[in-house]
Chains A and B, each alone.
Chain A
Amino acid sequence: MNGILVIIESTASGLHKLSLEALAAGQQLAKDAGQPLWAAILGSGDVIARLDKLYRVEDPALASYTADGYTNALAALIQSIDPAFVLLPHTYQVRDFGPKLATRFGQVLVSDVIGYRLDGTALVLQRQLFQGKLNADFTPATGSRVFASVQAGSFRSDTLEAGSPAVEVFAPALDASAIRQVPEPPFRESARAVDLTAADIIVSVGRGIKEQENIAIVEQLAKAMGAELAASRPICDNGWLPMERQVGSSGQTVAPKVYLAVGISGAIQHLVGMKGAKTIVAINKDPNAPIFEVADYGIVGDLFEVVPALTEAVKKAKSA
């Protein structure tokens, strides 16, 4: 068992950005561990990165993504090239097949990894627990094949070293009848009326708002600031704001000049959608809320007092 295999995901518009981040992690690990680096891609796309080999995994049954198809194909590749590490980007697709693939080899997928270190030859993988409140070190058993998926933004794709890798086609000779999922073409529900990615300032509301009718006070703040209104997932799940105002891993990813998080604890799924904002302001009654770890400015207080006061202060400043 030797070598690092990075699984690359292609989308309709090119390589998935998170795949490039996983590849950057792979390049770093390959250097630290002194092992060869390979990548595998199911689907089209060019991988212009420094690698020892790129495997194009090809089979008619892989024309559309299915959990069964991808697992069976990658399992065959892993059997064939015997890597010690399998790195995947923590995308929706990997959440669907990654754990199945790891189980096929009697291993656990260490998912949503934010970092690693090598203590000699022992790998330690870092993950978050309790929605980001705590961190934890995980140690895979010595001599076991390591499967890990990499959290968005934990490794930077701009550190990727370029290159023109040797390419080999791998044909897993899949049994199409063993693939039980029958997918239909993906679709979007409605034309998005709100483009949060175009907003300079976003005021975002979370569970701390408690009741639907209280959202009005946050709407007033957004209006005063000339900001777009957004929300964390639970607010949209309750139907209090439309899904298109959701920021997070299952909503929009935004990087505005200012992101003001009101009553948002800062769970991982929300942070991945906004931690790229230039300036983050957090208002929360809990001083230990994970949102304060990414905030540039923090107010620990009761949002029902702070938000109206802020609206007044903004109006006053703007009229001065």
Chain B
Amino acid sequence: MKILVALKQVPARDSQLRVRPSNEWIEDADLQFEINEPDAYALEEALQLKEKHGGEVVVLCAGPESAATQIREALAKGADRAIHVEADLAGQDTLEVARLLAKAVESEKPDLILTGLQSDDLGYGQTGVVLAELLGLPHATIIMQVEIDGSTLRVKRELEDGWFQFVSMPLPALLTIQSGINKLRYATLMGIKKAKSKEIRKLDPAGLGAVAGSSVKLARVYLPQRNKQTQMIEGSAPEQAAKLVEKLRFEVRVL
């Protein structure tokens, strides 16, 4: 079976973010990047499904040239080949990006498409669902377990408050994967070596013929306003501890 995994390059988790003076975006020239963590769980799930059912795992990534590093990492972990839509995503909304991905996928006809449930930068949490609608595929989100039986998919959706639900649908389908569904693997040295000769097909977004035009514009990025007056407790660790205990006893009245 052919499993497509859509992954995104995002700034590394601990990055110190600075807003550009123009407020239009962050200063990203000196940032470290990584695979969006939820997408890493989707990739791991795809690799485990391939180990169980056979077939191939194809990585799909829309992003700048530098995203090639994250694509190679996915190939090193065991994906078979990749499609890189080399695009600067700045200024494009979810629908525009999903349209590019849909065009890139057109000729592939995968059995299953997996994405992370959200990106840790923009956090819209919907590219997968939008892609499913554009491709006319059934979908389910926030998935904690995947079972494939012939051409039927049965998946466990995570619901609120500790509830879960199994739902079935026919393949081909799209799923957005929840973190914690599996344990992420590390790329092995052998995997890194093999990745060097795996195919990364580059696509030019201009040539894809996707419908252009945004419906929502990101107008301004800024630091959140501090609404709360936080009392910052200073000093050495023992001093901070003592001061906090005093506050808890006499201001908060616990302990």
Contact = CB atoms under 8 A, between A and B. Distances in A.
B165 A91 contact: no
Interface residues of B, number: 77
B221 A258 contact: no
Interface string A276-320: 001101000010101011111111111001100110111011100
Contact of A299 (B11, B14, B16, B244): B244
Interface in B145-190: 157-170, 178-180
A180 B161 CA distance: 26
B226 interface: yes
Interface in A98-131: 98-100, 102-104, 106-112, 124, 127-131
Interface in B228-254: 228, 230-233, 237-238, 240-242, 244-245, 247-249, 252, 254
A108 B218 CA distance: 12
Contacts of B240: 299, 301, 306, 309-310
B140 interface: yes
Contacts, number: 246
Contact of A131 (B123, B133, B163): B123
B224 A103 contact: no
A182 interface: yes
B180 A236 contact: yes
B90 interface: no
Contacts of A225: 255
B230 A298 contact: yes
A95 B120 contact: no
A110 B216 contact: yes
A132 to B, nearest CB: 7
A138 B217 contact: yes
Interface of A: 66-68, 71, 91-92, 95-100, 102-104, 106-112, 124, 127-141, 144, 180-189, 192, 200-201, 225, 233-234, 236-238, 243-244, 249-252, 257-258, 268, 278-279, 281, 286, 288, 290, 292-302, 305-306, 309-310, 312-314, 316-318
B219 A181 contact: no
B95 interface: yes
B20 to A, nearest CB: 11
B191 interface: no
Contacts of B178: 250
Given A100-B132, A250-B158, A181 B140 contact: yes
A136 B245 contact: no
A140 B217 CA distance: 6
Nearest to A114: B224
A103 B215 CA distance: 11
Contact of A309 (B159, B241, B252): B241
In the A-B complex, list the 6 residue pairs whose CB atoms are closest, starting with the nearest: A237-B180, A99-B126, A309-B241, A180-B138, A305-B237, A99-B129
B244 A293 contact: no
B123 to A, nearest CB: 6
Contacts of A301: 237, 240
A309 B129 contact: no
B217 A134 contact: no
B122 interface: yes
Nearest to A148: B216
Contacts of B94: 99, 108-109
A192 B162 CA distance: 9
Given A134-B224, A298-B231, A95 B163 contact: no
A236 B162 CA distance: 13
B9 interface: no
B12 to A, nearest CB: 11
Given A108-B214, A181-B169, 19 more contacts: A67-B138, A67-B139, A128-B224, A136-B221, A137-B218, A139-B217, A180-B138, A180-B169, A181-B140, A182-B168, A183-B167, A184-B167, A187-B164, A233-B179, A250-B178, A258-B248, A279-B254, A312-B238, A314-B255
Contacts of B217: 138-141
Contacts of B133: 71, 99-100, 103-104
Given A134-B19, A181-B169, A96 B161 contact: no
A297 B233 contact: yes
A300 B232 CA distance: 8
Contacts of B138: 67-68, 180-181
Contact of B161 (A71, A139, A182, A252): A252
B253 to A, nearest CB: 9
Contacts of B231: 296-298
A106 B210 CA distance: 13
A103 B124 contact: no
Contacts of A236: 180
Interface string B110-124: 000000010011111
A293 B227 contact: yes
A251 B160 CA distance: 7
B237 A106 contact: no
A91 B161 CA distance: 11
Contact of A189 (B164, B241, B242): B164
A221 to B, nearest CB: 10
A278 B76 CA distance: 47
Of listed A66, A236, A294, A306, residue having the most chain B CB within 10 A: A306
